[in-house]
A and B are shown apart, each in its own frame.
Chain A
Amino acid sequence: MRIALFVTCLVDALFPRVGQATTELLERLGHEVVFPTGQTCCGQMHTNTGYAREAVELVRHHVDVFEGADVVVTPSGSCAGSVRHQHAALARDAGDDALARRAEAVAARTYELSELLVDVLGVFDVGAYYPHRVTYHPTCHSLRVLRVGDRPLRLLRHVAGMTLLELPEAETCCGFGGTFAVKNAPTSTAMLADKMRHVLGTGAEVATAGDASCLMHIGGGLTRLRAATRTVHLAEILASTQASGDRTGIR
């Protein structure tokens, strides 16, 4: 299958390893990955901060770039959620029904990574090897906007060599919330503190999730604490094989 990668602005600029892992994983599974180089950002930060007018232009750009793709994958529950649940509404609110219809068409072909693997490609065992103790944080938008359910866990359970540790109060937000983390920093930090307490309580070496943004938040807190637990994106774990060695980590 020819799959267009929407890598997200955050991964492109700050966590390129996540995009590389997504590419390598899909290629290993026998698929062709293309990277439409015109892509930039889904506009979620603008939308969620109240800048709908600016966001519509980013929606238009995103639709222009991905309209031709049969299948779009993104290693982010949050950005997939924005494409699927915000883009058309933004266009419609701006009075651009034509754009809304085009956005709906792109949204219908856009999948978060675990959705693509399980629902479209029908694979649970991706042949990964990752000899570490890992705990999984189901990010809010994966869980409650996309409803990915246990797809990431089903993929992780098939990873060879890995010990999966259950995260207490896993479904509680880590406190990131985009500009919330800055506008309401003390509240965000209090939420992060509880999330880190639970992560560290599992004794895991690695905390994983399907969103680089939440991992940036949790990881930023963990390194500030000089904790031994590191954050690694789900794509990186799934891309790991006995041959690839271990060169993962969002920090």
Chain B
Amino acid sequence: MTATFLGIPAPAGVGQLRGDRPFPAAARDALADSQLRRNLGHATGVIRTKRAAAVGELDDWEQLRLAGEAIKRATMARLDDHLVRLEAEVSARGGTVHWARDANEANAIVTGLVQATGATELVKVKSMATQEIGLNAALADAGIIAHETDLAELIIQLGDDVPSHILVPAIHRNRAEIRELFGRKMPGVDPSLTAEPRRLAMAARAHLRRTFLRARVAVSGANFAVADTGALVVVESEGNGRMCLTLPETLITVMGIEKVVPSWRDLEVFLQLLPRSSTGERMNPYTSIWTGVTPGDGPRSFHLVLLDNGRTAALGDAVGRDALHCIRCSACLNVCPVYERVGGHAYGSIYPGPIGAVLSPQLTGIHAGSDDNASLPYASSLCGACYDVCPVRIDIPSLLVRLRTAHVDAARARPLPTAEALTMAAAAWVMSSPTRFAAAETASRLGRLGGRASGRLSSLPPPLSAWTSSRDAPRPPEETFRQWWSRTRGNSA
């Protein structure tokens, strides 16, 4: 494999692509939170059923997935051309395009644009790119208040919380917890507010109404950008996106460079794949599509910030680049048995779940040794449920394995091999010879001495003690298969 990644990884110390401890430690704490387990189990169960029904309605789903995959692959192969075309089209229609090498540069661009308007507050549409770069914190440092307007983002912002899901950042909170939070943190909230989701949504509407109507600046992300027409696309449900995209005078859109698609026609694929995969709807309530500035309709000033922040580093790997095909639907999170049990916070990054375990370390780079993101590729049993639901057919299990290999290979370069590396090397040496393997089997049968009459082992030394902490291990049998074969069939082949 190509272990040399080109480009520059996302910088440390800004944004939300890393946690502060390895996945296993964070997961252990999350598993102890039984309320979290119940909330996640309920919500992911609901959406899995809805997605399956929405996908099941289309008899050409596989063809759409194949088309989506191919469009993304073709786009990446000519990403430079498509971005240059996008820039030209947006500029020709009255928009201004900015380029940002990393989070710091993007934050500086956006902050400067907001300051130029004189505004000290703005409204935001839910956007992974701006979460990734930590835009709100950078704006706050400049004295600018960013109001999150998506219901789940509002819940996160009111609770000083951290997103735990790509689509529904507050998935770790149930209705009762949200009701309690609104009662405590939402100014002027109706004290008789109940935990009924409809009532909670109404409370958010009332809370944000004045903010929307007075906002002069908005910041959004983009789900897609169409190179050949300069069209930007935002897919949403609540109408908060439309509020942000049409009412303010100035609109600033921050978009990862991988979100570009070559042509208008490509949207006919993604506007089918995305809503059915993400919210399990035939179509999301609102999709806004705009090009540059339209006189008399919407913002008078439009800025598009094209963000790298480690994406070109991921692009440099012939296989790993497939992770850049992700359209952020979050279907892989919802079907992942690991995500369902530990939730999004355990991954440290705002990209959690299977795709996050691939994307986050790709964007930040994995460093040998104590890099917390190095633990993410191991946060999977490789069960493959994510690959099955991915609307653009990203082979996430294979990418996880590839990242594990890159991590192991990076460790090889260090002077002292790890205990695991020694074990693996020894095992490979044993297993590449039937004689050595048979000898090792004989030796391991000494383990029978430790077993009880029941034929199983309840405690083993480290690292296998992690197995026997909750599972018995089998006691080696009296006779291996090859011994049985030799005894009953003689040597063959």
Contact = CB atoms under 8 A, between A and B. Distances in A.
Interface of A: 4, 7, 9, 11-17, 19-20, 23, 34-41, 43, 45-55, 57-58, 60-61, 93, 140-141, 143-145, 171-173, 175-192, 216-217, 219-221, 223-224, 250-251
A83 B169 CA distance: 39
A104 to B, nearest CB: 17
Contact of A57 (B401, B428, B486, B493): B428
Interface of B: 1, 23-24, 27-28, 31, 37, 337-338, 341-342, 377-385, 387-388, 401, 404-409, 420-421, 424-425, 427-428, 430-434, 437, 441, 444, 454-456, 458, 463-464, 466-467, 469-474, 476-477, 479-486, 489, 491-493
Given A185-B470, A251-B454, 20 more contacts: A7-B482, A19-B484, A20-B481, A48-B401, A51-B408, A53-B409, A54-B424, A54-B428, A58-B432, A60-B432, A140-B385, A178-B382, A182-B463, A184-B27, A184-B378, A187-B24, A188-B381, A220-B474, A250-B474, A251-B474
A191 B341 contact: yes
Nearest to B29: A186
Contacts of A16: 477, 479-481, 483-484
Contacts of B405: 50-52
A23 B487 CA distance: 14
A31 B473 CA distance: 34
A55 B337 CA distance: 27
6 contacts: A46-B424, A48-B404, A49-B404, A187-B31, A190-B31, A223-B456
A49 B471 contact: no
Contacts of A173: 337, 381, 383, 385
Contacts of A52: 1, 405, 408-409
Contacts of B424: 46, 49, 51, 54
A251 B27 contact: no
A217 B404 contact: no
B383 A144 contact: yes
B235 to A, nearest CB: 28
Nearest to A190: B341
Max count, chain B CB within 10 A of own CB: residue among A9, A41, A190, A217: A190
Contacts of A191: 337-338, 341, 381
Contacts of A50: 377, 401, 404-409
A191 B339 CA distance: 11
A13 B470 contact: no
Nearest to B28: A186
Given A16-B479, A182-B466, A224-B470, A140 B404 contact: no
B474 A145 contact: no
A65 to B, nearest CB: 8
Contacts of B428: 43, 46, 51, 54-55, 57-58
Contacts of A186: 24, 27-28, 31
Contacts of A223: 454, 456, 472
Contacts of B469: 185, 189
B477 A14 contact: yes
